[in-house]
Chains A and B, each alone.
Chain A
């Protein structure tokens, strides 16, 4: 299975390269490994935040994420794609989204990364609600 999609309660564990470097990168097939992490910023429209509360509509969110991962994998000839997204509260400075893409070549990997995130924001029912600092 070269697709992995997961919704996780609360913040995601931050990566600290190189210990998270996936084993597939040592097979001699993978030429590009990209990892994107979305981090909760301290300000939203200039107002200080405690964090973001991610509201998820299930099972649609998991299905949409899975179908999106399959479509992106196929259209960009990816070797592996892994997407994890938080649900519930994520404090400022913590990771709420992580996308890993593995491909033979750099350009399709870069294009896939960008397209996945754009389409996720369009088609996957996940909303972020600000939790303001008092």
Chain B
């Protein structure tokens, strides 16, 4: 299954793109998405440890199962205010 993941802020800058497409195998968890992103884009690997995955604009729980209809976004350290 192929999914696209939105990137923002410093992570998008490090990746050089605001949108990253990855392939998921049997493990379709948020942790698998973050792990796969780090594999295909080593530049953002060090930044991913403190990140959470948003699925359809909500923070995902660890047991969420991703489908290819979902909108995914990596929410790294935010800094508004």
Contacts and interface: CB of A to CB of B under 8 A. Distances in A.
Interface of A: 38, 54-55, 57, 59-60, 63, 85, 96-97, 117, 120-129
A128 B8 contact: no
Interface of B: 6, 8-10, 13, 54, 57-59, 73, 75-76, 78-81
Contacts of A125: 8, 54, 73, 75, 78
A122 B78 contact: yes
Contacts, number: 54
Nearest to A99: B81
A121 B81 contact: yes
B53 to A, nearest CB: 12
A120 B81 contact: yes
12 contacts: A38-B81, A54-B80, A60-B58, A60-B73, A120-B80, A121-B79, A122-B78, A124-B80, A125-B78, A126-B78, A128-B80, A129-B13
B9 A129 contact: yes
A89 B73 CA distance: 22
A125 B58 CA distance: 11
**A57, A96, A126, A128: which has the most chain B beta carbons within 10 Å?**
A57
